Chain A
Amino acid sequence: MADLRSVLSWYRRMVLVRRFEEETERAFRRGKIGGYLHVYSGQEAVAAGFISAMREDDICFTSYRDHAFALLRGAPPGAVMAELYGKATGLARGKGGSMHLFDVGRGFYGGYGIVGGHIPLALGAAYALRYQGSDRVCLCFLGDGAMNTGAFHESLNMAGLWGQTGQCPLVLIVENNGYAMGTSVARSSAVTDLAARFTAYAIPCERVDGMDFLAVRLAAERAIAETRTSGRPTAVEAITYRFAGHGAADVVQPYRSKEEVDQARRRDPIPTLEGHLHAAGLLDDAAMAAIREEAEQAVLAAVRYAEESPAPPPESLYADVYADTYGGEA
């Protein structure tokens, strides 16, 4: 494992992600952000733990709860916020919004809005990486709800098959936050031991505390190293929790109690990592305050950038539907 000093930089990024999400909720309430908004607060250690263990040329796919993935792969916060604001300077030029952040140049192959629908894409992308003769790996993040889709089972079966010949450098990460929207794992899965679903397809699965960055990071290093070497898929189930509602409009949450949420907040991954760093003598109150202020300024700058950016020009409506144009009309 990288030394703890490098972990400090990931702590800094987690703080930024948390502060960024707070601001997106505020902007949503002010009507600045439209559509659906799914914030990542509570789950930061999962994305940060794995992305910190990725190589720069590795790639990842995720679902619609995707802001953190773009930010942690290094996308400028202003371009992420501008996308949420539907501006021309957004990551996807205002065409995708919150659910479809993309930064292919940084190996982030997108957020997807149909639950489970991105898993086959990651499978094929992993195959392509090995076909091209590289040792790059593909990470696929998914929620516990995605494990009940046909796409999940078909993809895992094929991943297990392709892994037999070392052609599937795919790491699957289940972010088990306990709920598919408002339906708990117990109410949606006949078998609540989710790891069993991976082993059914000959894919080893490790369970990890998804609220602890260091634990996730170690599991990520093991899974990524194994998959990079063998070309076989691996899986990690990260037990985590979503502090906010499913979406920003999900204010009333009859599917869970306030006590449950409060209890989960006591396992908040950010103070947990602060504890580790404090104990190692790498973080004191002054440094923490400085990091928070840095995040504050970065987020405010991102908001300013988004506010001041122009809307996409009307002529961009028909741009980027096709790569090729022929005679005739679509």
Chain B
Amino acid sequence: MAIVSYREAIRSTLIEEMDRDLTIVLLGEEIGLYQGTFRVTADLLARYGPGRVIDTPTSETGFVGAAIGMAMLGLRPVVEMMTWNFSLVALDQIVNNAAKIRYFSGGQVDIPLVIRGPNGAGVQLSAQHSQSLEAIYAHIPGLHVVTPATPAEAKGLLRTAIRGNDPVIFLENAALYGSKGEVPEGEFVVPFGAADVARSGSDVTIVAYSRMLAAALEAAEYLAGEGVEAEVINLRTLRPLDRGTLVASVKRTHRAVVVQEQWRPFGTAAEIAATIAEGAFDALDAPVERVTGADVPMPYARNLELLALPNAEDIVRAVARTLYREIKTPSERSSGGQSDG
């Protein structure tokens, strides 16, 4: 296995798939000559030419809609959304066309389309450039919503997305592009709808996805030192959602904490809490806890931004609540100047 970055995992998958399938074309803003805002598409214009790597004007409605039309005619467009914030401009195309044409045509056409790009907060990008929009898309039948947390998942899920025949909302994360991890060689694929048990444990289930997986694992590692064995489930895809793995885990641990970067109301965690209530109600020993972003437009000031984002300490506190016990968080330990050990 090679150690590669999340960015390189995506880029190399694009190259591997474009080499084997001439129907794949890329569209987006600044993906060619500029080499990609986050350099995911670096060198691809030189490699494949302007017919397959299409620099578009700032016209999200136009190029997302055009990609849908290409897909209807049998191409496999992969659209880069510079950031998912801008997808709101193309929401009509995604929701009213991409998600619905197959259904309202009675199955006469497939829409093999991938829209990919960074979702979630960056660093001090403020309100319009820091949103986590997964719940908006996961609400819509006809879309698959994918949230890779690691380089291997980015590669395996992107391959599934590109080879599939439906529109896929592929949510990357700018904070993850530089992260590195092992990626299997060859035609490695991660199927949709299969959550990963990222860490096994018996005392509480922590559910996370995308960038929040790292915070969940950090919290679990810390909790182990406190004598709490947390199971961490990495959802990998929100639609389809692997409800079976979630419910089975909570039936064993009797407690659940769900972590999301997005706003709390009507979010992913609410759907997962409902899924757990439906499937494991009798097994629960505590209410399902939600760890979420603050319910405000993202502020600019760094201290406020950090307050608005969930972190490992928030997860530790939530786990403590589900266990009805006191657990000092790492910062409480360090600021208190006291040590048990």
Would A326 and B240 count as touching, CB distance under 8 A?
Answer: yes
Q: Are B142 and A327 in contact (CB under 8 A)?
A: no
Chain B residues, Cβ within 8 Å of A96:
104-106
With most chain B CB atoms within 10 A of its CB, the pick from A61, A102, A103, A323 is A323
B93 at the interface (CB under 8 A from A): yes
Pairwise interchain contact A319-B64, C-beta atoms closer than 8 A: no
Stretch at the interface among A122-130, A181-189, A250-258, A259-267: A122-130
**Shortest CB distance B52–A (Å):** 8
Contact assessment for A154 and B57 in the assembled complex, using a CB-CB cutoff below 8 Å: yes
Mark interface residues in B304-329 (1 if CB within 8 Å of A CB, else 0): 00000000000000000000000000
How many angstroms between the C-alpha atoms of A96 and B191 in the bound complex?
A: 31
Q: Is the CB of A102 within 8 A of B61?
A: no
Shortest distance between the CB of B76 and any CB in chain A (Å): 10
Q: Are B59 and A117 in contact (CB under 8 A)?
A: no
Stretch at the interface among B67-75, B211-219, B292-300, B330-338: B67-75
Decide if B107 is an interface residue (CB 8 Å cutoff): yes
Are B193 and A131 touching (Cβ within 8 A)?
no
A124-B66, A127-B70 given; A92·B240 CB < 8 A: no
> Nearest chain B CB to A160's CB is how many angstroms away?
10
Given the complex of chains A and B, what is the CA–CA distance between A5 and B93 in angstroms?
43
Distance (Å) between the CB of B13 and the closest chain A CB?
18
Please give the distance in Å from B116's CB to the nearest CB on chain A. Answer: 17
- Interface segment among A19-27, A106-114, A225-233: the answer is A106-114
**B72: contacting residue among A113, A125, A322, CB under 8 A:** A125
Interfacial chain B residues near A61, Cβ < 8 Å: 69
Q: How large is the interface on A (under 10, 10 to 19, 20 to 34, 35 or more residues)?
A: 35 or more
Q: Are B66 and A121 in contact (CB under 8 A)?
A: yes
Closest-CB distance, A129 to chain B (whole angstroms): 7
Interface: B165 (CB within 8 A)? yes
Which B residues are CB-close (under 8 A) to A161?
Answer: 57
Partner of B108, one of A94, A102, A132, A154: A102
Asked if B252 lies at the interface with its beta carbon under 8 angstroms from chain A, I say no
Are B57 and A95 closer than 8 Å at their CB atoms? no
Whether B105 contacts A322 by the Cβ 8 Å rule is no
Q: Is there contact, CB below 8 Å, between B107 and A320?
A: yes
Shortest Cβ gap from B110 to chain A (Å): 5
The closest CB in chain A to the CB of B67 belongs to A124
A93 touches B242 (CB 8 A): no
In the complex, whether A330 has a CB less than 8 A from a CB of chain B is yes
List residues of chain B with CB within 8 A of the CB of A90: 106
Whether the Cβ atoms of B69 and A125 lie closer than 8 Å is: yes
Q: Is A194 an interface residue (CB 8 A)?
A: no
Question: What's the least CB distance linking A1 to chain B, in Å?
Answer: 29
A 78-101 binary contact with B (CB < 8 Å = 1; else 0):
000000000000111111100010
Q: Determine whether the beta carbon of B106 is less than 8 Å from that of A120.
A: no
Please tell me which one of the listed residues A92, A102, A117, A329 contacts residue B96 in the complex, with CB atoms under 8 A apart: A117
CA A165 to CA B108, docked complex, whole Å: 31
B242 touches A327 (CB 8 A): yes
Within the complex, which residue of B57, B65, B241 is in contact with A151, where a contact is CB–CB below 8 Å? B65
Using CB atoms, name the residue of chain B closest to A99: B104
CA of A122 to CA of B194 in the docked complex: distance in angstroms? 36
Report B-chain residues with C-beta under 8 Å of the C-beta of A321.
102-103, 141-142
> Smallest Cβ distance from A32 to chain B, in angstroms?
20
In the bound complex, do residue A155 and residue B66 qualify as a contact, i.e. CB atoms below 8 Å apart?
Answer: yes
Q: What chain A residues lie within 8 Å of B105 (beta carbons)?
A: 92, 95-96, 100, 102, 104, 110, 320
For B77, the closest partner residue in chain A by CB is A124
Q: Assuming the A-B contacts A92-B108, A124-B68, are A155 and B62 also in contact, with contact meaning beta carbons closer than 8 angstroms in the complex? A: yes
Report yes or no: B241 in contact with A323, Cβ–Cβ below 8 A.
Answer: no
Question: What residues of B have a CB within 8 angstroms of the CB of A122 in the complex?
Answer: 69
CB distance from A167 to the nearest CB of B (A): 7
Q: How far is it, in angstroms, between the C-alpha of A118 and the C-alpha of B192 when the chains are bound?
A: 30
- Give the residue name and chain of the B residue nearest to A319 (CB): B107
Tell whether, in the assembled complex, residue A120 and residue B65 are in contact, meaning their CB atoms are under 8 Å apart. Answer: yes
Interface residues on B, range: 35 or more
Chain B residues in 8 Å Cβ range of A324: 164-166
Select B110's contact among A165, A167, A323, beta carbons within 8 Å: A323
Asked whether B21 is an interface residue with its Cβ less than 8 Å from the other chain, the reply is no
Given the interface pairs A90-B106, A96-B105, A320-B106, the reply to whether A120 lies near B69 with Cβ below 8 Å is yes
Give Cα distance in the complex from A131 to B67, angstroms: 13
Is residue B101 contacting chain A, with contact meaning CB distance below 8 A? Answer: yes
The residues of A that contact B93 with a CB separation of less than 8 Å are: 117, 120, 151
Which residues of A37-68 have CB atoms within 8 Å of chain B's CB atoms? 59, 61
Q: Give the CA-CA distance A283 to B180 in the complex, in Å.
A: 77
Residues of B within 8 A of A244 (CB): none
Q: Mark B71-90, 1 if CB is under 8 A from A, else 0.
A: 11111010000000000000
Q: Give the residue name and chain of the A residue nearest to B65 (CB).
A: A120
| B239 CB–A CB distance under 8 Å | yes
How far, in whole Å, are A322 and B96 apart by their CA atoms in the complex? Answer: 15
Please determine whether A322 and B142 come into contact, CB atoms closer than 8 angstroms: yes
A119 contacts the other chain (CB 8 A) = yes
Say if the beta carbon of B225 comes within 8 Å of chain A: no
Distance, CA A95 to CA B102, complexed state (A): 10
Indicate whether A313 reaches chain B with its CB closer than 8 angstroms: no
Cβ-defined partner of B57 (8 Å) among A100, A109, A119, A158: A158
Q: Is B56 an interface residue (CB 8 A)?
A: yes
Instruction: State the Cβ distance, A73 to closest chain B Cβ, in Å.
Output: 13
Q: How far is the CA of A105 from the CA of B109 in the complex (A)?
A: 10
Q: Could you tell me the distance between the alpha carbons of A94 and B103 in the complex, rounded to whole angstroms?
A: 10
The reply on B122 being an interface residue by CB < 8 A is: no
Question: Can you list 20 pairs linking A and B with CB atoms under 8 Å apart?
Answer: A92-B108, A94-B106, A96-B106, A100-B105, A124-B65, A124-B67, A124-B68, A124-B69, A128-B70, A128-B74, A129-B73, A131-B51, A151-B61, A158-B62, A319-B107, A323-B102, A324-B165, A328-B195, A328-B244, A329-B240
Q: Which 7 A-B pairs have the closest CB atoms?
A: A120-B65, A328-B193, A124-B69, A154-B62, A124-B66, A328-B240, A92-B106
